[in-house]
Amino acid sequence: MLTWHILSGIYLKNCTSSYNPVIFSANSNGNGKANLALVSPQEKEKGKGNLNSNTKHKHSFRASPQNGSIAVTGRFTVKMSIVKPLKKLASCVILDLDGTLINTDALLSDVLGGFLSKYGKQWDGREVHKTLGKTPLEAAAAIVEAYDLPCTTNEFISAINPLYSEKWCNIKAQPGANRLIKHFGGHGVSMALASNSPRVNIEGKISFHQGWKESFSVIIGGDEVASGKPSPDIYLEAAKKLNVEPSSCLVIEDSIPGVTAGKAAGMEVVAVPSIPKQSNLYTSADEVINSLLDLKPEKWGLPPFQDWVEGTLPIESWYIGGPVIKGLGRGSKVLGIPTANLSTEGYSTVLSEHPSGVYFGWAGLSTKGVFKMVMSIGWNPYFNNPEKTIEPWLLHDFAEDFYGEDLRLVIVGYIRPEANFSSIESLIAKIHEDGRTAEKALDLPIYSTYRDDPYLKSCVKDSSNL
């Protein structure tokens, strides 16, 4: 017999033994508490919702551990009140491609920048919102008009298409995309790909990502339905081909037309905006998350990710370095958080590839050694910075400043998205909590090995801290 405190998850109201057996998939975080997703195929229409984290209920289950997760079957009674509006349980996931699973924005700037310069015009990244989630025809028409190009929309498309397709091989997966596809694939959750792009383009783009094509039971392109997003057609067709009701589909989308399409199709929609600082525009989405790393499938009745360790998510390590610069002078030192801000010059690509958020890893300082580090990347919502910055906090007391010194970082894990706070005190408290989380996690073997990374070592002259 195990006793669990249910912290969060989706549950059925007033479950009684009549729903027996019901499968809980519980993801223990090691201290006797569990994230819980309840999946009851028999009772889809009953009440569901999120548990308030301070609601504590004790339940006894017979449990059988299975590869780190616990499948619980048994008789139980759950009596509680619903604290959030009801959410529907999803059984399938429908994904958008451009901007959601792959990072197409950089490509757009690349191709259009080169193309427009031939007409003596300069691509202005701010026009990007005119193309997001649009059909190729609409996007092209918007650009021809915005730049007053001396060609028809169709001529523009014919000229630009080959420039695009030769770059498909360079398009990177969005952080978390491979993880998500493997996770749902591994749990037998059916996935569809639904994009405004013509089907051949979809297949061309995903052919450079190993294992993707086989993971989708259904692929629908904009050329296979009467109208593209924001019309619900693409999503409805995807559900039909998946052989499920639209209401049991969870859509993941980066664009506003895409969110509109998913809602019009009667689906649950999680938005992952690809343009920064625009999440307020996604009001019709059921949830807005910062990146795919923040998706919590259990909120939608889907199997939870099991790769979080002690409040941290291991990520593929990445590297960045440069001289330490003075930050925006907000006196982080006064706040007790002396960040060693990195110059972002020359790192615009790396920066655009990584979602804003709180990360951690190891920091090498040329004259001082290697230290634990926690950092934020982004616009600091509390201060609403105009630029995306990298603000590493080295978890060590230094006697003096080290502006100008060469700082190298290896980033090994993710903690949370950047957030806004109602007071500076709560921001500071959260940053300190991040510091403790990172400090502890970096002792785990999966993260501690990176302390010896050659990238850090090669910059350190004095070996006293090695």
Of 11-19, 90-98, 180-188, 353-361, which part binds Mg ion (CB under 5 A)? 90-98
Q: Residue 312 interacts with ligand RBF (CB under 6 A)?
A: no
* DSSP code for 303: P
Annotated catalytic residue, options 96, 237, 253, 434? 96
- In the complex, the smallest distance separating the C-beta of residue 443 from ligand RBF, rounded to whole angstroms, is 18
Q: Residue 255 interacts with Mg ion (CB under 5 A)?
A: yes
Active site residue 96: yes
* DSSP code for 243: T
Q: Residue 418 interacts with ligand RBF (CB under 6 A)?
A: yes
Query: What does the alpha-carbon distance between residue 364 and residue 319 come to, in Å, rounded to a whole number?
Result: 11
- In the complex, the smallest distance separating the C-beta of residue 258 from Mg ion, rounded to whole angstroms, is 5
Strand 2-10 with 58-66, pairing: antiparallel
Q: Residue 290 interacts with ligand RBF (CB under 6 A)?
A: no
267 binds, among ligand RBF, Mg ion, none (CB under 5 to 8 A by kind): none
Which of 358, 377, 394, 409 binds ligand RBF (CB under 6 A)? It is 358
| CB-based contact 305:289 (threshold 8 Å) | no
Of 5-13, 90-98, 264-272, 376-384, which part binds ligand RBF (CB under 6 A)? 376-384
| CB-based contact 261:235 (threshold 8 Å) | yes
Q: Long-range contacts of range 75-79, CB-CB < 8 Å, 24 or more positions apart?
A: 75/17, 75/20, 76/15, 76/17, 76/20, 76/22, 77/15, 77/16, 77/17, 78/11, 78/12, 78/13, 78/14, 78/15, 79/14
Annotated catalytic residue, options 254, 391, 434, 453? 391
Q: Residue 431 interacts with ligand RBF (CB under 6 A)?
A: yes
Q: Residue 96 interacts with Mg ion (CB under 5 A)?
A: yes
Neighbours of 65 (CB within 10 A): 10
Active site residue 98: yes
- In the complex, the smallest distance separating the C-beta of residue 342 from ligand RBF, rounded to whole angstroms, is 12
- Going by C-alpha positions, the residue among 129, 139, 146, 193 that lies closest to residue 161 is 139
Active site residue 391: yes
Q: 383 or 403, CB closer to ligand RBF?
A: 383
Query: What does the alpha-carbon distance between residue 98 and residue 73 come to, in Å, rounded to a whole number?
Result: 40
Phi-psi category of residue 382: left, alpha or beta, with phi > 0 → left and psi -120 to 50 → alpha: alpha
| CB-based contact 378:359 (threshold 8 Å) | no
254 binds, among Mg ion, ligand RBF, none (CB under 5 to 8 A by kind): Mg ion
Sheet of strand 249-253, all strands in order from the earlier edge strand to the far edge: 218-220, 190-194, 92-95, 249-253, 268-271, 287-288
Q: Residue 105 interacts with Mg ion (CB under 5 A)?
A: no
Phi-psi category of residue 381: left, alpha or beta, with phi > 0 → left and psi -120 to 50 → alpha: alpha
- In the complex, the smallest distance separating the C-beta of residue 455 from ligand RBF, rounded to whole angstroms, is 21
Which of 237, 254, 286, 294 binds Mg ion (CB under 5 A)? It is 254
- In the complex, the smallest distance separating the C-beta of residue 398 from ligand RBF, rounded to whole angstroms, is 15
Q: Residue 294 interacts with ligand RBF (CB under 6 A)?
A: no
What would the two tokens of residue 99 be? 């901007």
99 binds, among Mg ion, ligand RBF, none (CB under 5 to 8 A by kind): Mg ion
Binding site for Mg ion (CB under 5 A): 96, 98-99, 254-255
Binding site for ligand RBF (CB under 6 A): 327, 330, 332, 335, 337, 339, 358, 374-376, 380-383, 391, 393, 418-419, 427, 431, 434
Catalytic positions: 96, 98, 391
